[in-house]
């Protein structure tokens, strides 16, 4: 009997820990942190200092997780109205608002202190602005105000490689801004592919996402146009000598597949294609940043 009560307590504890984990949007944050780490490695010809790498990664991850938690606190009523998000901890009530606010504040402050004390003030401040950009400007205002919400708000999601670069060098380099541009232009096709699939849910929740305000066909056109622009932007690292042939060839293959998805979505749409395009967008971004990294070291060490 005692053993059963204990094991129930442990199970309850594990469940709550899992809910805090979900509050951080862990899979999105992992990809965000990956792009920041690539920014750190690209910032120097050899290996970045271990201290900047470890503390920088920890600080950026804590602040990104805090931003995601604040997003869920602010959006709890919207999340409750959409099937995709109605299982979130603040909607189901497994976490209270107070618990979530305390959690988001503690990890956000911890992230800021880590960056300020062990990395550099520039990275701490830029990461804090990024948090405010996503949790404050995008979530609180843009998301509810304009169908261009994710184009403007995308700047926050695109900042992490710049943060990683700044963590290692203490400056914002033009090469870091090219990494920013890649994620910035990638965000609309990433999100609008999903929004096409979830159009009715956004309409129900009164969120002016592009497929709700301008229709699905117009959104498909925008996905295609941004994917074309993305192809151009992903050639820039090669064009300015930041990356080599290995990167260029790999990036063009990834671009060709993304374009094929976008073209099919526009002229040969069928059920399931928007979600497959969305899924591919994630593979694509991981692929582009992995190529940048591998190409960088293949050139540094003349592999
Ligand atoms: C304003 C910018 C962005 C918006 C509006 C957005 C929107 C979304 C949405 C709504 C989902 C949830 C899909 C679902 O629940 O099925 C999602 C998933 C995802 N996003 Fe984004 N995203 C943005 C930026 C980013 C950035 C910058 C990254 C990474 C660098 C990213 C990586 C991911 C990943 C990895 C997933 C899959 C998560 C999972 O499997 O649970 N997103 N995005
Ligand atoms: C380093 C740092 C502070 C980074 C912060 C940037 C960050 C966490 C960006 C996340 C992008 C994202 C998941 C947007 C979706 O929000 P949504 O509200 O439209 O999606 P939802 O409906 O799934 O909640």
CA 157 to ligand 2 center in whole angstroms: 7
**Rounded to whole angstroms, what are the CA distances from 192 to 60, 105, 149, 203, 245?**
26, 31, 11, 14, 31
What does the pLDDT look like over 199-251, one tens digit per residue?
999 999 999 999 999 999 999 999 999 999 999 999 999 999 999 999 999 99
Task: Measure the CA dihedral 205/284/45/121, to 10°.
Answer: 0
**Rounded to whole angstroms, what are the CA distances from 244 to 164, 257, 285?**
21, 21, 18
CA 138 to chain centre: 13
**Residues 241, 119 contacting (CB under 8 angstroms):** no
Count CB-CB contacts under 10 A for residue 211. 24
CA 274 to ligand 2 center in whole angstroms: 20
**Residues 44, 167 contacting (CB under 8 angstroms):** no
User: Rounded to an integer, what distance in angstroms lies between the CA atom of residue 48 and that of residue 115?
Assistant: 16
76 close to ligand 2 (CB < 6 Angstrom) = no
Angle between helices 121-131 and 160-169 (to 10 degrees): 170
28 close to ligand 2 (CB < 6 Angstrom) = yes
Name every residue whose Cβ is closer than 8 Å to that of residue 230 and which is 6 or more positions away in sequence: 182, 185, 186, 189, 255, 258
CA 191 to ligand 1 center in whole angstroms: 7
**Residues 56, 36 contacting (CB under 8 angstroms):** yes
pLDDT at 299: 85
For ligand 1, atom 32, the nearest C-alpha belongs to 28
Angle between helices 2-23 and 50-74 (to 10 degrees): 100
119 close to ligand 2 (CB < 6 Angstrom) = no
Phi, psi of 88 (to 5 degrees): -70, 150
The helix, strand and coil proportions of the chain, stated in percent and rounded to the nearest 5, come to 85, 0, 15
pLDDT at 188: 98
pLDDT at 303: 54
270 DSSP 8-state letter: -
What does the pLDDT look like over 284-294, one tens digit per residue?
999 999 999 99
**Residues 157, 187 contacting (CB under 8 angstroms):** yes
56 close to ligand 2 (CB < 6 Angstrom) = no
pLDDT at 300: 77
Determine the residue of 22, 26, 28 to mutate for testing ligand 1's pocket, defined as the one with the most ligand atoms within 8 A of the Cβ atom: 28
The whole-model pTM stands at: 0.96
CA 34 to ligand 1 center in whole angstroms: 14
Strand ranges, E, within 137-231: none
Residue 156: nearest ligand to its CA?
2
Query: Which residues have CB under 6 Å of ligand 1?
Result: 27-28, 31-32, 35, 84, 138, 150, 153-154, 157, 183, 187, 190-191, 194, 282, 285
**Regions of the chain with pLDDT less than 70:** 1-3, 302-303
């Amino acid at each position: 009997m005692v053993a059963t009560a204990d094991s129930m307590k442990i199970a309850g504890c594990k469940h709550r820990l899992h809910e805090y984990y979900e509050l951080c949007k862990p899979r999105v944050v992992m990809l965000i942190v990956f792009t920041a780490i690539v920014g750190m490695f690209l910032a120097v010809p050899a290996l970045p200092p271990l201290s900047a790498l470890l503390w920088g990664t920890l600080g950026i991850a804590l602040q990104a997780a805090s931003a995601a938690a604040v997003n869920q606190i602010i959006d709890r009523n919207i999340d409750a109205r959409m099937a995709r998000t109605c299982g979130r901890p603040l909607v189901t009530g497994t976490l209270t608002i107070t618990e979530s606010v305390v959690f988001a504040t503690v990890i956000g402050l911890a992230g800021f202190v880590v960056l300020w004390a062990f990395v550099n003030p520039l990275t701490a401040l830029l990461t804090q602005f990024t948090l405010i950009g996503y949790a404050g400007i995008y979530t609180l205002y843009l998301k509810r105000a304009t169908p261009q919400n994710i184009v403007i708000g995308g700047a926050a999601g695109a900042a992490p490689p710049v943060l990683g670069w700044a963590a290692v060098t203490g400056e914002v380099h033009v090469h870091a801004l090219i990494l920013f541009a890649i994620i910035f232009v990638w965000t609309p096709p990433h999100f609008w592919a999903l929004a096409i699939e979830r159009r009715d849910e956004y309409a129900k929740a009164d969120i002016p996402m592009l497929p709700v305000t301008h229709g699905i066909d117009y959104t498909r056109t925008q996905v295609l146009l941004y994917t074309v622009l993305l192809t151009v932007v992903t050639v820039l690292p090669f064009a300015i000598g930041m990356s080599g042939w290995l990167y260029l060839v790999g990036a063009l293959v990834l671009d060709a597949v993304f374009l094929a998805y976008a073209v099919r979505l526009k002229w040969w749409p069928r059920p399931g294609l928007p979600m497959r395009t969305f899924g591919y967008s994630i593979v694509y971004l991981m692929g582009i940043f992995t190529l940048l990294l591998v190409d960088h070291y293949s050139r540094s060490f003349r592999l």
